[in-house]
A and B are shown apart, each in its own frame.
Chain A
Amino acid sequence: MDVGLAVLDHQLLDREGRRCGNVDDLEIEGGPGETPRVVAILSGPDVWRSRSRWLGALAARIGRGGRVRIPWEEVAEVQSHVRLKRTAAEYGLGRGDDRVRPWIARLPGADR
């Protein structure tokens, strides 16, 4: 199976099932004649620049940059989502949600 095509643009879930970004790009190795293989998942706003020049760059700017490289060995399971072996925080994923959380949590009833 072509793993690359099967996981690109899929949802990343951490060990606890938290949604923590998407597979924005893949790092692929393999010289001429070799079978290419996926060595890492790339995720984060900075990766969007290479996916779409104008809108992607704009989105990356709004998303305040950042890119995370996750070695393929960290993938626990590929189903309809890509599940990782550790928590989002350990990879530095989901930082956008972490940045906004204190502001939302200040509102009464936010933890209901």
Chain B
Amino acid sequence: MKIFKIALGILAAIGGFVDIGDLVFNVAAGAIFGYQLLWVVVVGVVGIIVYSEMCGRVAAVSNKAVFDAVRERVGFRAGLVTLVAAQVVNLMTLAAEVGGVAICLRLLSGLPYRWLILAAIVGLGIVVWVVSFEWIERIFGYGGLCLLVFAVAAVKLHPDWGAVAHGYVPHMDTEDTALYLFFAVGLLGAAMTPYEVYFYSSGGVEEGWKPKDLGLNRANAIIGYSLGGFFSFALMIVGGALFLEQGIQPDFLGSIALGAEVPIGEVGLLLALIGILFAVGGASIDTLFAGAYNLAQFFGWEWGRYRHASGAPRFTLTWMVLLGLALAIVMTGVDPVQLTEYAVIFSVVALPLTYLPILLVANDRAYMGKYVNGRVSNVLGVAYLVVILAVSLTAIPLMIITNVGQG
């Protein structure tokens, strides 16, 4: 039973990790820089593990989710600024994921895009309303495993494994420093997207985690996000082995799926599209709830996805409104891939405000008792905060210099 529980948690963590941001940035980074930036994915994955574990531990010991901690630690005024920033970024991400769902549906069915946007929104609304959360996690988790096809594709493309291995050692083999740094920032942002910790910590509170569940929390974070990182590696290797070789810039989600079709054939394409569909569909639901969690926690409303909808009315209303706003944004015809790039870069700017309060609460003995951060968590936590801070200060300038990665 315990193994089963761990497996479910891991599945959820994989589902929460791989989203449209990872798909876009990993493949594009591979297509431009080959395997050079693989090491950045490792840095990002360790970062999300460190902070998710911390958030999960805070949730289990003190029953506080991220935005409870934000408000308590930085106060109402700075907390409100953080909330607004987080909600804007989260809505952009949600819209990008929904757009991704619609694109996958179009590639699978051939029907007109705008109708499929509507279908995606209605479909997501119905799934969230009707299907229990346990099953949502299973369906999207297992569906997302179809992305394994990219690992097969990566092997079948016969990359230069020596060059791949060299990619795990930080190095820069290009003239264009700004573009290299832009992609490094984007990959970090895609790996450490804040909605992952909002969702993860709130889930921990909802499932009533206690200190006895800390082992489960650690296993979920470490194994789940490592596997998520494994998918990222595969995507970047496909990008390097296929798109860089052919000189193709994968500007569409469809071209990412081609990465599986070229080496494997039609089955590869189908599996890739289904995998992407479930990964971005699951991420849509995670971001949708993350937005509702944040607002409810900051203002002290009743919240919870396991509650009856009428048991948490404003929480329910919030996710419905967010779904409507996402519909309006995607319907303008904005390109989901471009929207993703902006969402990831802006999310990097908001990262320090999210992670600092967590680090502070995790160090507070009054709440955490003997479960306060140990030395490893603190050294890593502080190191990552410094990295995040540096990255958040350079993200926007790099975005402008490189014209959002267009060079």
Contacts and interface: CB of A to CB of B under 8 A. Distances in A.
Interface of A: 6, 8-12, 18-22, 24, 43, 48, 51-52, 55-56, 59, 63, 80-81, 94, 96-98, 100-101, 103-105, 107, 109-112
Interface string B285-306: 0000000000011011111000
A7 to B, nearest CB: 9
Interface in B356-388: 366-367
Interface in B27-71: 62-64, 68, 71
A52 B221 CA distance: 36
A20 B301 CA distance: 6
30 contacts: A6-B366, A10-B68, A10-B72, A18-B302, A19-B296, A19-B300, A19-B301, A20-B300, A21-B299, A52-B77, A52-B80, A55-B77, A55-B80, A55-B81, A56-B80, A80-B367, A94-B301, A96-B301, A97-B301, A97-B313, A100-B317, A103-B317, A104-B309, A104-B317, A105-B309, A105-B310, A109-B309, A110-B310, A110-B316, A112-B309
A8 B310 CA distance: 28
A97 B314 contact: yes
Nearest to B297: A11
A38 to B, nearest CB: 16
A112 B252 CA distance: 40
Interface residues of B, number: 32
Contacts of B314: 96-97, 100
Contact of B79 (A9, A21, A96, A97): A9
B162 interface: no
Given A80-B62, A80-B64, A97-B313, A9 B75 contact: yes
Contacts of A24: 76
A20 B299 CA distance: 9
Contact of B76 (A52, A94, A97, A109): A52
B214 interface: no
| Of listed A19, A63, A110, residue having the most chain B CB within 10 A | A19
Given A100-B313, A101-B313, A104-B317, A21 B300 contact: yes
B130 A109 contact: yes
A17 B3 CA distance: 32
A12 B62 contact: no
A41 to B, nearest CB: 12
Given A107-B129, A109-B129, A110-B310, 11 more contacts: A6-B366, A19-B301, A19-B303, A22-B71, A55-B77, A55-B84, A98-B313, A100-B313, A100-B314, A100-B317, A111-B309
B366 to A, nearest CB: 7
B210 to A, nearest CB: 13
Given A6-B366, A52-B80, A97 B312 contact: yes
A80 B84 contact: no
Nearest to A53: B77
B156 interface: no
A46 to B, nearest CB: 13
Contact of A111 (B64, B300, B310): B310
A19 B298 CA distance: 12
Contacts of A20: 300, 302
Contacts of B5: none
A6 B299 CA distance: 18
B313 A9 contact: no
B166 interface: no
